[in-house]
Structure 1
Amino acid sequence: MLGYLFLAIAIVTEVVATTFLKFTSGEDAKWWAWLIVAAGYIVSFVALSQSLSRGVPLGVAYAIWSAVGVVLIVLISWLFFHESLTWVQLVGIVLVIGGVGLLELGGRHA
């Protein structure tokens, strides 16, 4: 169970880091955003490593980490940066969540 707590920390910190990438480019680039990006990715990879060392299988951990991260970034982009979110993308989100669910279920029975 502790492995999944570290996985949750890895997901949250990766999403924060990726979100702040938005503030590192363009004419209004913020230097401090680079600090958040770097710290977020470092903490994320350390937490992901800790989740693996506590029994979360690599394939399942990476699938959950990347898929949940993608879904959250799409939603954050839509909510806070007013980027588009089409019905096709919504179907993609459902498929991603379903695929990760199947990976998790399949790993428990193997």
Structure 2
Amino acid sequence: MRKWAVLAGAIVAETCATLALRASNDHAAWIAVVVAGYALAFTLLSVVLRAGMPIGVAYGIWAACGVVATAVLAVPLFGDPLTWVMGLGFAVIVAGVLLVEFGSHTRTSPAADDAVPEVAR
């Protein structure tokens, strides 16, 4: 459960950094938030990977959630559009991440679980 909380923190940090990157177009002071946010995001993402989450799953969830959160939050913050085509894109992203997640789990047969490993001679 801890690795999911850390991954959520990485997503929040990356989203904040990306929104700050957009804000830095108007005020250069936001660059400090960009640098700190991305540094924290990558640090937390590395913690998740060290905890054993497969990189395809961790990065997929991190990137997908970051894209969706950034696009949705940019609507009230910057007046960016949010169209049905973007919503369709979000659905495709989520479907792709789910496929990666489900594909990362290997199924073992009951016979393989009962097998005794051969001892080296």
| Gap runs ≥5 in structure 2 | 108-121
2:73 corresponding residue in structure 1: 76
Q: 1:102 aligns with which of 99, 102, 106?
A: 99
**SS state at 2:104 partner:** helix
Instruction: Tell me how far apart the structure 2 counterparts of residues 84 and 67 of structure 1 sit (CA, whole Å).
Output: 18
Does 1:59 find its partner at 2:56?
yes
Q: 2:84 aligns with which of 69, 84, 87?
A: 87
Structure 1 position 74, deviation (Å): 0.7
Structure 1 position 34, deviation (Å): 1.3
**SS state at 1:73 partner:** helix
| Structure 2 letter corresponding to 1:9 | G
Larger helix percent: 1
1:22 corresponding residue in structure 2: 22
Give CA deviations for 1:22-76 in whole Å, capped at 9, x if unaligned.
2211xx3242x11111111001000000000001101111111111100111101
Instruction: Tell me how far apart the structure 1 counterparts of residues 103 and 36 of structure 2 sit (CA, whole Å).
Output: 34
TM-score (norm 2): 0.82
Instruction: Tell me how far apart the structure 1 counterparts of residues 106 and 94 of structure 2 sit (CA, whole Å).
Output: 19
| Structure 2 letter corresponding to 1:41 | Y
Superposition misfits of 4+ residues, deviation over 6 angstroms? none
Identity between Structure 1 and Structure 2 (%): 39
